[in-house]
Structure 1
């Protein structure tokens, strides 16, 4: 099914400037901060964020890398300059940020997307993950990641796995991700009575709604307690790794806004001129 018109514009104002209009249910972090600045303490993005990004000792803060990551597949993802970059964090790096949750009700869905990239490690583990942490004793969390599963693997895989708070299972996609390749991960959590369904698409086309997911996980009851108010990302590698363009929303279109094409801009401009003409006639 083709997606609806999604050009990232405000028609009435004829503005072609923002990644999306923050509606309260859309959360966005594009890491549009000064190049080289530490991420810790930064408080940008859009949507119902509550705190700046926070790191915990002994973890160090990633820094802002410009121009950041980009992605296109039949259409181009709308991005802003900047990405969170970690170097030589072989022991792992963890960043947290609190937000006001608007998800977790049975019968609803939450869409999540982000870009990730990992340079070739010299040895050992390598991963970038985005997580809703769970908590003891029996509140499971979920992690969405690209991961090097074997220390000698020459590629990465996309994966879903429990994250803190218990739970079992975990599944990885079979499609390899090359080191140095930017991957778009799009996940959907379908909240329901009992275990919820988490679906993950790796590098989906942006011109249509996604079809069958690459992997699914249905062993975790993620809303057994009030929904997580904490969003966390982790990076582990002994070379550079990146995360960028984090979005949470209610639909696929909300978490994959597109760069407006010429035809879409023409529609907006024609509509604006017609509206202006009508205003002049009305006078």
Structure 2
């Protein structure tokens, strides 16, 4: 005799799948504070140490941290880098296996105060400047600019606050027969792959092999946790935080982000309509699930308790009364998110 056990969920669930790949380049700036960046060679995915053209930036006295809008905390280590100096600081470092394309890039960025000087992170192929994230020399606001050095064009993301640590995420896509594209996302939540960039630029070839961090006339920009990876998840490693339901509609902010909804606009009416009319959406309510016996017995879970059930093996000598011959009692802990158990009986 065999007793197959099946588990079900009462409503259809949407899940997000990340194509986990590999972190290609990482610089945590895990060095000694107040040290010049030139000649430092930590991190991974680089083929040489940092070099300088002009003065050198320095290692900050403290590292930077970042928590997204859903409470998820970026994984960080080490200290950070700042472009502070007595003259223009320009530090370069070349990645291994370049030029790189079809990659995600992330780093922490903090501009302390207004000025009319260039501070930014730029990307090169050899000696050719390609694109950058910066405070441009013609902008005294705190706005973060995505710049294109191949075809002169700057896109103001309209994001950025003085003295605030921002997470900058860039997505470089090779265009094939079309122009390459760089999309900038400022402070995206980690719950879902971002789809609405704060700025986009295009040009014939954005493949890069060198990173530059620079501050004009020694102007200060703080940079930390530089990463390049094959996926968004590669460049946003994090510790999950709390996931509140800001609009009180029964869906957490993280769930709404994954579903493309606004966490600040209630969907309570739609949720109630789905629950009241599950058949409209090809779903089952609890009563409907209990009717899906298919030759077995469906048992509901109560709260988070295990599902308990008892069955008897009965016998009879005259087929009119059936006293128990043996009784079996089981208690089954269902997997997370499962609410029903079905028991069927089959003779081998």
TM-score, normalised to structure 1, is: 0.70
| C-alpha displacement of 1:262 | 9.3
Give the whole-Å Cα distance in 1 for the aligned partners of 2:16 and 2:211. Answer: 28
Give the whole-Å Cα distance in 2 for the aligned partners of 1:62 and 1:148. Answer: 18
What is the SS of the residue equivalent to 1:26? strand
Q: Is the Cα–Cα contact under 8 Å of residues 117 and 215 in structure 2 kept in the other structure?
A: no
Q: Is the Cα–Cα contact under 8 Å of residues 116 and 146 in structure 1 kept in the other structure?
A: no
Q: Is the Cα–Cα contact under 8 Å of residues 128 and 236 in structure 1 kept in the other structure?
A: no
Structure 1 equivalent of residue 11 of structure 2: none
Which one of the candidate residues 47, 51, 66 is aligned to 1:50?
47
Q: Is the Cα–Cα contact under 8 Å of residues 127 and 237 in structure 1 kept in the other structure?
A: no
Structure 2 equivalent of residue 208 of structure 1: 192
- Cα 1:132–1:116 shift into 2, 3 Å: same
What is the SS of the residue equivalent to 2:33? coil
Give the whole-Å Cα distance in 1 for the aligned partners of 2:234 and 2:56. Answer: 28
Q: Is the Cα–Cα contact under 8 Å of residues 120 and 239 in structure 1 kept in the other structure?
A: no
In the alignment, is residue 232 of structure 1 matched against residue 212 of structure 2? yes
Q: Which digits, 9 at most, give the CA deviation of each residue in 1:127-176, with x for residues without a partner?
A: 222312454xxxx642221314535x3423231312xxxx2142323424
Give the whole-Å Cα distance in 2 for the aligned partners of 1:168 and 1:5. Answer: 33
Structure 1 equivalent of residue 315 of structure 2: none
Give the whole-Å Cα distance in 1 for the aligned partners of 2:104 and 2:226. Answer: 11
- Cα 1:230–1:260 shift into 2, 3 Å: same
Q: Highest CA radius of gyration, 1 or 2?
A: 2
Structure 2 equivalent of residue 111 of structure 1: 104
In the alignment, is residue 182 of structure 1 matched against residue 182 of structure 2? no
For structure 2, the 5+ residue unaligned runs are 1-13, 244-348
Q: Which digits, 9 at most, give the CA deviation of each residue in 1:218-251, with x for residues without a partner?
A: 223235xxxx432222223655321111101100
Q: Is the Cα–Cα contact under 8 Å of residues 125 and 149 in structure 1 kept in the other structure?
A: yes
Give the whole-Å Cα distance in 1 for the aligned partners of 2:159 and 2:242. Answer: 34
What is the SS of the residue equivalent to 2:234? helix
TM-score, normalised to structure 2, is: 0.58
In the alignment, is residue 158 of structure 1 matched against residue 145 of structure 2? yes
Give the whole-Å Cα distance in 2 for the aligned partners of 1:69 and 1:202. Answer: 16
Q: Is the Cα–Cα contact under 8 Å of residues 36 and 65 in structure 1 kept in the other structure?
A: yes
| C-alpha displacement of 1:252 | 0.2
Which one of the candidate residues 77, 80, 85 is aligned to 1:80?
77
- Cα 1:124–1:215 shift into 2, 3 Å: closer
Which one of the candidate residues 89, 97, 113 is aligned to 1:120?
113
| C-alpha displacement of 1:4 | 5.3
Structure 1 equivalent of residue 95 of structure 2: 99
Aligned residues: 227
- Cα 1:4–1:82 shift into 2, 3 Å: farther
Q: Is the Cα–Cα contact under 8 Å of residues 88 and 218 in structure 2 kept in the other structure?
A: no
Which one of the candidate residues 131, 145, 148 is aligned to 2:133?
145
Give the whole-Å Cα distance in 2 for the aligned partners of 1:27 and 1:258. Answer: 17
Structure 1 equivalent of residue 230 of structure 2: 250
- Cα 1:86–1:211 shift into 2, 3 Å: same
For structure 1, the 5+ residue unaligned runs are 7-19, 264-283
In the alignment, is residue 129 of structure 1 matched against residue 121 of structure 2? yes
**Cα RMSD (Å):** 2.9
- Cα 1:209–1:113 shift into 2, 3 Å: same
| C-alpha displacement of 1:179 | 1.6
In the alignment, is residue 38 of structure 1 matched against residue 31 of structure 2? no
- Cα 1:178–1:261 shift into 2, 3 Å: closer
Give the whole-Å Cα distance in 1 for the aligned partners of 2:36 and 2:159. Answer: 31
Give the whole-Å Cα distance in 1 for the aligned partners of 2:144 and 2:241. Answer: 32
